[in-house]
A and B are shown apart, each in its own frame.
Chain A
Amino acid sequence: MSFEELQARWQAHDHEGQLNIDSDALLEEVRRNQRDFEKRLWRRDFCEVTAAALVTFVFGTLAVLMDQWSLFLGAAGSLFVGIFLVFDRLKQRRQRSTVADSLPSAIDASLVQVQHQIWLLRNILWWYLLPLVPGPVAILAFTFWQSRGNGLADQLVIAFVGLICLLVFWCVYWINQREIARNLEPRRKELEELRASLA
């Protein structure tokens, strides 16, 4: 069979089968999905920023009430993370491409998004973990200093809490680096290859 015959069979074939779409239901579904997608993005941003604001508020209030400088450090760290997230999300929203762009620019836009995500996760130590570290460290150091006369048991408890904090920070870092290696880097490679094949 020649390719032309294959082509003719392909064109003669009923690819839709017995598909009978209710276009009103479909329209409603598409509009709902689009709304849901926008809502989900908004909710994610809202949760992240609200969490940072809440931690800032709690640390800030405790710092004022207890008059402890170490708590101010925690509030400042959370505030920095919150502000960073707001700026980053706003910048990303402005860069979101429309569907009507050409295929190469659509691939470029996806590539930019993935590269940014990689950058964000790779540098999570600098914009997320390190700003949050001084607060707990200062609080623990301050408590440790205050408990120096209470015996070894108290100091061991504080050291244990410090170790747990360190473990949590390390887990956050490790999970994010694993996400880069498992999903984002292969995705970037795939998009780069796709882009190169259009060149």
Chain B
Amino acid sequence: MTVDDQEAMFQQWIRNHLGIIVKVVRSFAEVSADQEDLLQNVFINLWSSIPSFRGDSKESTWIYRVSLQTAMVWRRGERIRTKHQSKYLNEIAVVAQNSVDGSCRANELIEQLYSEIRRLPKIDASIALMHLEGIAYRDIAEVLGISENYVGVKLCRIRKELNERLGGTRG
């Protein structure tokens, strides 16, 4: 794969699947500085992963895999951010902040959901996120390297837990 191909694919992935990355980042990092840091990690790992992408799985599955893998081994405070602070990263932080401050009821629910996902253990958070996206058990299992049965068992508990935690505030 040439560098031009890699660049073209990266830009296409960002155009088409930025939502996946944003959702993963917001599910694992709460404050904007952490979100920026994790986002930067995800972008770098996504870029590095392109030569390994053979097209065996869907692009979205691959992007989930790389993003979640990065988020799971990422640790708050271990910043890789350099002195070059980007405009695009600030924009993302602003978007997240706007959402947090949003007064719309739907936004509140989604923000609360993000908050509850962040409280879950990392594996459970990943499963919950992909399940909310409507991703099939088989694909969730593939992304996380676990069995479909295990995904099913985990999801039963996660759904119950989220229902209980959100029960009092939804309507």
Binding site for B on A (CB under 8 A): 1, 3, 6-7, 9-11, 13, 15-27, 29-34, 36-37, 98-107, 110, 187, 190-191, 193-194, 197-198
Contacts and interface: CB of A to CB of B under 8 A. Distances in A.
Contacts of B113: 6, 10
A1 B14 contact: no
Contact of A34 (B47, B84, B86, B96): B47
Given A6-B170, A99-B52, A187-B75, A15 B84 contact: no
A188 to B, nearest CB: 11
Chain B interface size range: 35 or more
Interface in B37-96: 40, 43-49, 52-53, 65-66, 68-70, 72-73, 75, 80, 82, 84, 86-89, 91-92, 95-96
A197 B7 CA distance: 36
Given A13-B110, A103-B65, A36 B91 contact: no
Interface in B86-134: 86-89, 91-92, 95-96, 98-99, 106-107, 109-110, 113, 121-123, 131-134
A6 B114 CA distance: 12
Nearest to B150: A198
B82 A36 contact: yes
Contacts of B132: 6-7, 10-11
B166 interface: yes
Contacts of A32: 82, 84
A52 B109 CA distance: 57
